[in-house]
Structure 1
Amino acid sequence: MTPSETAALKEHIDSELAAGKICPSTSPAGAPVMFVKRADGGLCLVVDYRRLNSTTIKDRYAFPRQDELIEMLCHAKIFTKLDLCNGYNTIRIKEGDEWKAAFRTRYGHFEPTVMQFGLSNVPAVFQRFMNDIIRDLLDITVIVYLDNILIFSNSREEHVQHVTEVLYSLQKHDLFCNPSKCVFLVTEVTYIGLVVTPEGISMEQEKVKAIQEWPEPSNVKQVKSFLGFANFYRCFVHDLSRLARPLTSLTPKDQPWVWEAAQKEAFHQIKIAISKEPVLVHPDESQPYTLKTDASGTAMGAVLSERKNDGRLHPVAFMSASFSPAELNYDTHDKELLAIFGAFEQWRIFLEGTEHPVTVLTDHKNLEYWKSARTFNRRHAHWHLILASYNFVIAYWPGKQSQKPDTLSRCADHNEIEPSPQIMLPETQFEGFGAEVTTSLLEQIKEALQDDPSLDTVIAAAADPDSMPHSVAAKFKDYTLQDGLLLYQGRIVVPDEPEIKQQLLSHFHDSPGSRHQGRARTLELISRHYYWPAMKFQVNRYVESCEICQRNKGHVQQFALKLLSVPAGPWEDVSYDFIVKLPKCRGNDSILVVVDCFSKMVHFIPCKETATAEDVAQLFLEHVWKLHGTPKQTVLDRGPTFNSKFLRALYKALHIAPSYSTVYHLQSDGQTEIKNQWLESYLRPFINHRQSDWVDWHNLAKFAHNNAKSEATGKSPFEIVYGRSPMISPALEPTGSPAADDRAKQLGDTIQEVQVSIKWAQELYKQADKGKAPLEFAPGDKVWLLATNITS
């Protein structure tokens, strides 16, 4: 210890011994002591009770919440604050237990006779003690947080009586106040870190100054200290959870220290937000509350407000919270609902049992009708049950008008921040792959909507159907407005702007993610997200005039078909084949094509023509089996690789019964042959002139194929296998999410539909083959053999 600490230690022990608060001890326990500096620069002795606290059974007595304490002051006009002398030291340690709290110093071994700062149960015991001695006045004229006592009244006359009653209760229990820290009969008082006035509450100036002058952290410990300090004032800060995300991402264990632009910006934005010092008004239960909520990708926010005498809404409190990992998976509709649910739970003390309905403002129009819905999934049913105890109405508040909640959850400087990613694929892998339809295009659509006079009536009817004649409202009932976009049956309406339509046609036909599909498939891709009149005609004209399509589309051979049985479900029947003799690319010169005969989903797997049975088996395990399991039946080319003993053994181990197709007959094993042709035609427009980069395109080809609607099934492979279509453009997210049981039923219905569609397609094939008898060959017959499949 330093000389000053040694002197302070001796002085402390002498005074405590004289007061009878400690006594000499021979206890086997002995906690070390240390000093911390007080705010005034003095030294305070602290005993390190961490080991004792780790074995102490915790007292779970409840502490009052900050918002609950402040709520009691909503009608108060005058205040008195009392601070007790030696608060904790006024309570005796149970006789016989003193030895457990013994501490050791250079001046001897001592044990306390009264409670000491640092013992884990001291705050709970003291809060219970204070509540008991002023129980008759608690929350009526006085609130207590540990040794901080605040007396409040509506008038000076009442206040004098209230102060007298509290002081009498303290005197009766031999409790004394520290006059230098007490404040009497004031209209503004600082209590538990907040400045309280009759108008509302604000932040303590010293704390605001401390935040403004806080130096940039240089390690995780300093970041946690800053966040802890800022978190105390979270009820004043718009969207603190989102603002702090770059900083909180540094706090998990084993997270490497990174202090870059995002962290610096977050640090300074929090300081700026706290420095604004907003005043939160006291809640008045006689006035109706307004609750504005909003949710974004990773967080939710809310503002609780009341309209005061000036006719304006004033904030009572702000709320923000990050979504849990499970909640991050909710769709937009459920995240918006969760924001409403979370706000009611957060401010239950204000909003439960209100005289007037709480008006909930949201920029998600579909939520207006949620309370009147007749069916709910389990999550919605739980929320509906909890919210049934509140008196509220949900009102649509368009995004441009709803500025505060958007600020809470969509702060422009803090979009969704992810941890530093490990680069799995280079950005060039996705060039041209859906990147063309960007947020800027959606902004172009929004602007063009305002300049398209043909849509004026539609927009007016969608914005306020009640103000329109019934016939007009009925005509446009399928149109809605969301985030400045006009939707028709959930799809974005494209105004009559040729440049925008041209961008969309190019994106959904020309990009590698779309692969120059035919007219029907291109129309189906665009129709998933967008709508405009005469779309089919314009799509057909665009596709038919595509020069690349005219040069690269392959020729389809015509001959009688031999149909296989219809599979029972996805990935039960699988077909395989190879595309060989390709230019070498990254050591590969062939592609293994694997096709699900049911959904038509494909895997294109680069490999070598010299691949052994063991190599092919490993490719099967890595790319097919781990994703889809073991097929019940395979249809494969009777080549030397597939016929090897090793692969037979693999089939036997996986319980696969091979069903060999006729050699090189396109329609008996037509699945992979057709996909081979498709892949070859896909690659032609995109690979370089040396044809040496085809490996770079095979994943995009797989996506384009699996996202395209099949003529046989009427659905894309994605839809059949996963029950949904993938998002390839920033169209609006779905507004609802079916429950697990609904999704299972939907997938079951899809499988039945596909089975019927495949059978119907086979009937059409049969009609096309009428009069074409399958060719039969006898031993000794001479036939022409297509040289494509002959290796020299």
Structure 2
Amino acid sequence: MFEGVSRLPRQMPVHIPPYSEMVVWTTIIDSPPGTPCTVVIEPLPNSDNEWCVGRTLATLSGGRVPVDYVTQILTQWRSPAPALARVTEVAVEDIQGANELILSQVEPDVVEVAVRRVGVCEPSDTNSHSAFQLQGEGLTEEQQQKMTRLLHKWSCVFSQHEEDFGRTNVVRHQIPTGTAPPSRERYRPVPPSLYSELQTLLRNMLENGVVRESSSPWAAPIVLVKKKDGSWRFCVDYRKLNALTHKDAYPLPRIEESLTGLKAAKYYSTLDLASGYWQVEMDPEDREKTAFTTPFGLYEFERMPFGLCNAPATFQRLMQRCLGSMVNDSLLIYLDDIVVFSADFDSHIEHLEEVFRRLSEHGLKLQPKKCSLFQRQVTYLGHVISEDGVATDPAKTAAVRDWPRPQTVRQVKSFLGFAGYYRRFIQGFSKIARPLHALTHNIGHEKLYTDASLEGLGAVLAQEQEGLQNRNADALSRLAGPLPTETAEVDRVVVATGETWEEDQAKDADLFQLRQWKEMHTTQPEVCSNMSQNMKKLLREWDKICLQDGVLGRWEEGTMGTSVFQVLVPSDRRMDIWNAYHRDMGHPSSERTLSTVRQRCYWPGMTQDIKKWTEECPHCVCNKVGPVGRAPLQTINTSYPFEVVGMDYLSLGRPEDRDQSAETTARAVYDNLIVTFGCPERILTDRGGAFESTLMHQLCKMYGCTKIEPLHTILRLSERSETELGVGATQWTWAIQ
């Protein structure tokens, strides 16, 4: 290959006016002799800024070549003239038929030029149709030969490997955002164990020209989603960008209308594009808006990515321009899914060849593994299409049959949307689905009523409707399980309420995010500065937190070396838990309330919350007087149980009979103490008339028991128990609270 420098011929002065362009014939020093050759003319690296040389393709003949000059001032050249341009010989390829010139800016000063043939494929020597699903039954040997020739002829339309997908600029995807400022988000934490997988995905997209490095002011976070086969799918969260994008109203086909217009046919072929979205170029002005941020830098898409709100409309527009004139006559299109149908074999060959030709002209490629050719029956968009007509796909109807019972309004809507896809095959579908549609309406506020006893527990979810009040929406009734006797009734009320723990945790933002992390990751996520304090404290307990029966909780060491499962309580349910274990259990101290709650529940800052709420409890403030400074009291020493028994009268609620006579008191002591447990050595009471009576003294003397009365009521053993119960003169409703 020849390379040289062009100069002016000798004895040839040149005058070029300012701000003008002129083609000047120049000579090439040491030019190769022989036939003319094609050369590329380019400016020299150190050329004068006052004039420049246009990059051109010319023919070098007889040592002379024309050069295009542009000047900004009056330019005069005389011999010996300086070197004006660089001349390089290039190879020439003769291309027959239609072609397309592709220009790519690979560097700021370098443009890559390529020529691609359009509409014509070179026959392939390989068995290119081995990856297809072919229907061999019913085809003659001649028909099989025609089919093979067709696939060999148009083998270039099919992807040869995973990275081999087409490229078209017939339609370029645009992202109109108007004057909206760029949206920018930090990348989301990626587990270090997935770094190598993420780097592999990025490297493949860079090598295939799908993405490139970016310096865009836009940035969206990435998300890695696990596929069914265990590999990872690369996704970008474009929700903020989509919110700023002006929506494209280009319509997608109605599937039911397309299937209705399907003509009776004998041969069907389904075609699927290879990475269809990635075959569409992004508009150069909007590429920066697709930028996404990763732990390894900022990148942007050169091809149309998934997740953009207008991507389906752009792709449908492309397919309509490519195959629109054939729609309903010989094929159906829904995004990248194509079904070709024909009445006979020869027509099917013609239809497929026309489809392949148009796809080749538009630079699109098919995925052979997803193509099914020359079939008598195919599955298309959840329907089975055959000569007999259109039927439902058994695999899809099985999914409807095995659908789990919906538990939330969202799950009901999801089921109705899925089942409604086949409503044209179900007579009276709207009448059958009417009760389910009624569940999706917002018919009023909900109230949860709970109750429990030593025999069982129950809960009722009621709704307020227009003209109705407390209409039952759901109910729960169960036998009581084995719970501690001292807290059995309160615990069962909490259990009845706790049937909704899973739903309540899903409504809490921190617990919902924590559940997703527990389901997706095995390692602890990194703590970020934008996390709430509640979330940061929960992440410190990562190793203890787990999912049990769908409920998020924490395993903690309990008493006697056992472990207890503590339910993570949402923020809006914490006060309910405190009420259940403090107000409804006789207002114990903050320490005892905390000890009881710890056996069942947990939330960050629980100790401080329970202490604060207990100290501010109106019942405790009114009826629990704090200790008053007095001289220290002497301890009542005992050596065995029931050596000293303290007693007093205590009224819970409004008693029907206030009988506190000496006879009643003596009978109660005899029946409930002496007969049942035996006579104590000493009985400690106050100076009430019933206890100071002659009958009471005779009873004690008869059984050898000493009766003593302290000088101060604080020494009575029953005084402490009365304080624990929190019973005062104004608390007559304590028993029913």
Both structures adopt the same fold (TM-score exceeding 0.5): no
* TM superposition score normalised by structure 2: 0.34
Structure holding more strand per residue: 2
* TM superposition score normalised by structure 1: 0.32
Structure holding more helix per residue: 1
